Every structure is written in structure tokens, then in C-alpha cells.
Structure 1
Amino acid sequence: MRHRTPLMRLGANRYSRRLRNETGLSPFRIEVTKQGRTPRAECRSVTKEAPPADVADRLGVPPTDAVVRRENWYFADDEPMQVGVTYIPLDVAGTSPLASEKTLGKGSIYARFEDLGFPITRIREEISARMPTPEEVTGLAMPPGVPVIEVLHTSFDPQHRPFEVTRFVMRADRNGLDYEMPVED
């Protein structure tokens, strides 16, 4: 049986402002560091283009409108773990580093959103599993037959406005999901 290394513990703590302020790290870096591994993120592109239809729907923008698209690859001990493609409405990103810079500094993307007045107060995540595309197999250095976990993540501000959507694609043999959420009656 292959050892499974769960790197992703998605839930309220993952996006904690307190943890981000204490560590200066992004959610991925926090989780990988907790495991005693060395995290690395690589922003491969920042462009402006029309989003996929499901992303446009989540953002509440017409599918023909351009948004900022950021493609990030994530590594633990130089092993590729996941890719995340983030979509940000132009009226949110404006002329900030989110719209043009590959490196976002201390606290990473969520700190930059807060700088712009968009603190994350709620998230929605839709999780599915599927077989990877040939590009994902190559990019994530996956052995044959391993599926991927796809997480479609949406961040909301205090006014319940969606301000970013990220599609994460994770190796299922190296990632796990761990949620803890309140149950309301």
C-alpha cells in the first residue's frame, strides 16, 4: 500500500488571518511547513482573459468579460503537489500586484486581497475526483492510473461578494482533505 501524505487540510484554519499574520505564509506554505517539509510555489503566468463558464458564474461576471488569471504550481520538497489557477475580477484586482506581479510578498494572495479591502470571511468549495489530463500527468509527475482531486474554491468578502475563484488540481496519491466545520441546526 502506498503511503499517503495529506498536505491539504482545507477548512476554517487554512485561511486564518491570525495564522497568516503570525507566519507571513500562504495557506499552502503553512500546511507543508507543519509537516516538516519545504514548500515552494511558482507563479507561471499572470494574464487577462475570459474565465471558464463555471468560474464566470461563481464570480457573477459575464463569461466574455476578461478577468485576471494567475497560474501557480505548488511543491513540497520540490515534488509537485498541485496546480492552482486563480481568477480575479478586474474591478477587484485593479492595478494592484494581483493584476501583474508573479511575487506577492508576505502573506501572499490573501494578504493582498485584504490590502484592497477584500478580507476572506467565507468560502465555498466544490470537490470532485477525476482522471488527470496528459498535461497534468506530466506537470504533476504522476504515476499511471492515479486520479486527481479537483477543488473549485470561491472566496467571499464581508458583503458576501465573491472576489476570487481558484481551481486547484491535486495529486490524489499525495493529498488529502480534512475539514472541520460547525453544524448549524
Structure 2
Amino acid sequence: MSRICHRQIQSKACQKAAWPSHKEKCKVNQRAHGGLGDVPAPLKDLRAFTSKHRPSLAEAGIRALDACADPSRTKKFLLVVFLRSRPDSRRIETMFYATGADVVPFDMFPQAEEMRGMLRLAHEENVRTGFMGTLNVILLCVDTGTSNVMPVGFDPHTPLEPLSMDWKSCLMKKLNEGIVS
């Protein structure tokens, strides 16, 4: 399993070590969704979509921020992927249609400080496990106002697929056609 997606399978020890970061993410999500006990369906769908496309999203974030060449960019910028719901989709990997993706400064978000705090926690955890750093990818569904922040660990040896097109076109194709790796 590649280093950019190894966190999908975690032991009890890894889960315990990740708890501080997870706890902070939960607090941010609760505030963003009105403190609801149950996770709203749009957020569940977005999380499932994010999970399916995690390797592609991680690679796009690394390339978009040029994170391995200039890790300091990850503290100032994040990758935002803009989505629209596809209510007629029967597959998790095609539940959303990507309309765009851009590198955006943290300061564009009202919750920038909370997002930076999440990034710091994820960064500390990733550095402990051998990564060079961490960046954030945020998926934003514009028709429901739902968002999901995905931290990505990276290092200079992160395996990246050769691209036949630019990172943005490649990401749009994979998300919109439901291509998962």
C-alpha cells in the first residue's frame, strides 16, 4: 500500500495515537453542522466519496501545492475541490460531480484558525510516523454547503503516478468518471 493512503487501515495503537487529531476534527465538524449528534446524510455521502477518492485527492494536493519542493506552502494554502451533488448516482464514487479545484489561502475561510489547528495536529502525527509534512484538501459541495477536510501526509519519496495531463484535469477526470485507485 502506498504511503499516501496507508492510514486507511489502522491498528488499535494507531487509532489511539490518532485520537487527538480525530477529536479536534469532530469538534470542527460539530460546530459546522450545528452540533448535531447524528451525522447529516450529505456529510456521510461526502465522507464516503472522499474515502473512495482519497489516493487521487492526495496526489492532486501534493502536486497542486508542490508540497515536496516547498513544504512551507502547506501552512499557507490548501487545495479546495468544488463539487455538486448527483442525486441520481447509485455509486459512492460518482455521488458528486467536480466543477473545479483551486489552491486557496487558508485565510479565505472563516474557520481558518481551526483548520490550521487540525493541520498542526495531523502534521505532528504524520512527522512521528515518518512523513515530511501534511497538507489539507477540502471538498466543498456547493449545493448543500457541506464540506470535508482531508489531511494528507507526504514526503519526497511519495510515489506519484506519471500524468498524461495537468493535475487538475487528471483529478477532474478521475472524480467525474468515478475512477478510483
TM-score scaled to structure 2, two decimals? 0.33
TM-score scaled to structure 1, two decimals? 0.32
Q: Which has the higher contact order (CA 8 A, sep 6+)?
A: 2
